[in-house]
Amino acid sequence: MLTSLWRRMSKRRAPIAKWELSTPLLRWTRDDAWMLRDAVEGTLILGATGSGKTSGSGAAIARSYLAAGFGGLVLTAKADERALWERYCQEAGRLDDLLVFAPSERADLRFNFLDFELNRTGDGAGHTESIVNLFANVLEVVERNSGTEGGRGDESFWRRTNRQLMRNLVDLLALATGRVSVPDLVRLCLSAPTSSAQINDKGWQERSFCFHCLKEADRREKSERQKHDFGIVADFFLLEWPNLSDKTRSVVMATFTSMADVLNRGVLRELFCKDTNVTPKAVEEGKIILIDLPVKEYAEVGQFAQVLWKYSFMRSIERRDAAANPRPVFLWADEAQLFTTSYDFQFQSTCRSARCATVYLSQSTTNFYAALGGGDKGQNEAHSLFQCLNTKVFHACTDKTPEWSASLIGRSKQLFANGNNTYSPEDNMNAMLGLPVFGPVGHTSAGFSESYEYEVQPAAFTRLRTGGPAHGWEVDGIVFQNGRVFRGSGRTWLPVTFRQRH
């Protein structure tokens, strides 16, 4: 039903010019519209593998965004996602808006993320901390994949010290050259002095890229703020860094270089360390940027690439003037747990005003718990993120997700009828032998009771139809929106059926 409605609407509707928040994007039922206002409050879609979440609610929402003229960023986990989005864009007449970011044999787009952050326009342009935070997001994924995140009691010290190193590396390069790149950051780090004696060594001074940058930064004209920053940088590399213990310095250096190493070679160097011909700003003009380095094919390389794009996209969207350019944009991530970092919650808490509609799809809540560190920390960060994704669509699922979904929808006072029949042993025996029964055969009682029970029982989520020929190509889902009562159900939740295209 939903797909047929979308087809009729897309045939007669041109892309929206003003993008009012009250504009309907699709209809769950004839009386229940899902509007732009709802979309920019974020969407979470959960369902087990094969539940139809991508081909059901995911497809319906994606097509509605394209029909309405959204720009967007699409992160990919599986190799077939590029073909899927090419089909979506073809159906919506927007294939020309699709930009595929991939290795050179499949595309020619490049994005020097450091140069973009350093030299962009705007009041906050060129801030070192923005570049450091970008690296920190990638470092979070590195630690997660290596299983070291949160594993030591002194973790905060190493985080702070590593950020201090990155901050000084970025500042020195920017002051000396006006540009920042991963290869130069690595070169600068490896050539920094490791002892006070080395600083005065003429041979080291001639060979060291770090020393040449210090001389060049000192020579250049600087503002008062830059003079102050250069003083901090010079003190760090000439006093603090060489006087650290060898063990501390080697750990901090190895942490940075191991992270930068993957960005400094192969596909990632080709894509992110050269000239730029596409940036996140393109989505504000209606382009759909698809990062075609699926994690299932490229593993950590693909994951790093997409986390870099996601963070750069988030920061760019947060800075934009939505009043001057009201075109809505979207962030799309199937297998979203692969790309989730602790910054996601901060972005989701404010992105509504930037008109960004986030859609995260995953199999279960526990995927997010594990991705964000596990334990209480992971669960707390995951639930903070879920709270900021106001529309939730549940498909057939198992694990702990049905219980969480049922508790989220909540309980209500429900009326239960009960009845009981009892028989005496003598009456039962006479009846079995065909002898006369004297007096009443038994005693019957009936009554009613009230209890607070789940409105949707956890077992109901395991019985939702999953599409395919066995279910007539129909996918069941339960839509939940906090603070909304659907006309079709009179509740905050609504059963919806999605028709798959095949």
- CATH assignment at residue 293: 3.40.50.300
Average pLDDT estimate for 82-108: 94
User: Are the C-beta atoms of 46 and 392 separated by less than 8 Å?
Assistant: yes
Indicate whether 12 belongs to any domain.
no
Domain count for the chain, please give it: 3
Residues 126 and 100 both lie in one domain = no
Residues 367 and 224 both lie in one domain = no
Order across the sheet with 391-394: list the strands: 98-101, 288-291, 71-75, 329-334, 356-362, 43-46, 391-394, 474-481, 493-499
Over the chain, what is the mean pLDDT? 86
**How many angstroms separate the CA atoms of 284 and 328, rounded?**
8
Residues 125 and 220 both lie in one domain = yes
| 14, pLDDT greater than 60 | no
**How many angstroms separate the CA atoms of 412 and 224, rounded?**
64
Among 445, 365, 351, 369, smallest CA distance to 398 is for: 365
| More confident of the two residues 376 and 419 | 376
pLDDT confidence of residue 273: 87
DSSP state letters, 303-351: HHHHHHHHHHHHHHHHHS-TTT----EEEEEETGGGT--THHHHHHTTG
Residues 245 and 134 both lie in one domain = yes
Give the DSSP H or E segment for 134. helix 128-146
Least confident of 54-58, 106-110, 278-282: 106-110
* Cβ atoms < 10 Å from Cβ of 102: 19
Q: Specify whether the backbone of 141 is left (phi greater than 0), alpha (psi in -120 to 50) or beta.
A: alpha
Residues 378 and 286 both lie in one domain = yes
| 49, pLDDT greater than 60 | yes
DSSP designation for 398:
-
Distance of CA 12 to the CA centre of its chain: 33
Pair of tokens at residue 480 = 């939940």
Indicate whether 351 belongs to any domain.
yes
Residues 95 and 224 both lie in one domain = no
Residues 119 and 256 both lie in one domain = yes
Q: Specify whether the backbone of 50 is left (phi greater than 0), alpha (psi in -120 to 50) or beta.
A: left
**How many angstroms separate the CA atoms of 75 and 65, rounded?**
16
pLDDT confidence of residue 141: 72
Average pLDDT estimate for 14-28: 80
**How many angstroms separate the CA atoms of 312 and 291, rounded?**
13
Distance of CA 422 to the CA centre of its chain: 59
**How many angstroms separate the CA atoms of 43 and 481, rounded?**
10
Using a pLDDT cut of 90, give the percent of the chain over it: 63
| 7, pLDDT greater than 60 | no
Q: Is 286 helix (H, G, I), strand (E, B) or coil?
A: coil
Indicate whether 497 belongs to any domain.
no
- What pTM, to 2 d.p., does this model score? 0.84
**How many angstroms separate the CA atoms of 181 and 269, rounded?**
10
* Cβ atoms < 10 Å from Cβ of 450: 9
pLDDT confidence of residue 430: 57
Residues 62 and 201 both lie in one domain = no
Domain enclosing residue 422, as ranges: 411-454
| 460, pLDDT greater than 80 | yes
Residue pointed to by tokens 């190509």? 473
Count of positions (residues) in the chain: 502
DSSP designation for 474:
E
Give the DSSP H or E segment for 498. strand 493-499
Confidence of residue 428 (pLDDT cuts 50, 70, 90): low
Q: Which neighbouring-strand residues pair with 411? A: 454
Q: How many C-alpha atoms does 13 have within 13 Å on its Cβ side?
A: 22
Indicate whether 130 belongs to any domain.
yes
302 contacts: CB under 8 Å, gap ≥ 6: 76, 291, 293, 294, 295
What does the pLDDT look like over 307-335, one tens digit per residue?
999 999 998 999 888 888 999 999 999 99
Residues 120 and 219 both lie in one domain = yes
Q: Are strands 288-291 and 356-362 parallel, antiparallel or unpaired?
A: unpaired
Residues 128 and 102 both lie in one domain = no
Indicate whether 129 belongs to any domain.
yes
Confidence of residue 5 (pLDDT cuts 50, 70, 90): very low
Q: Is 282 helix (H, G, I), strand (E, B) or coil?
A: helix
| More confident of the two residues 52 and 153 | 52
Indicate whether 501 belongs to any domain.
no
User: Are the C-beta atoms of 85 and 291 separated by less than 8 Å?
Assistant: no
| 3, pLDDT greater than 70 | no
Among 80, 29, 88, 87, smallest CA distance to 61 is for: 88
| 16, pLDDT greater than 50 | no
Residues 352 and 302 both lie in one domain = yes
Confidence of residue 115 (pLDDT cuts 50, 70, 90): confident
Residues 291 and 149 both lie in one domain = no
Indicate whether 235 belongs to any domain.
yes
Indicate whether 5 belongs to any domain.
no
pLDDT confidence of residue 362: 97
pLDDT confidence of residue 429: 54
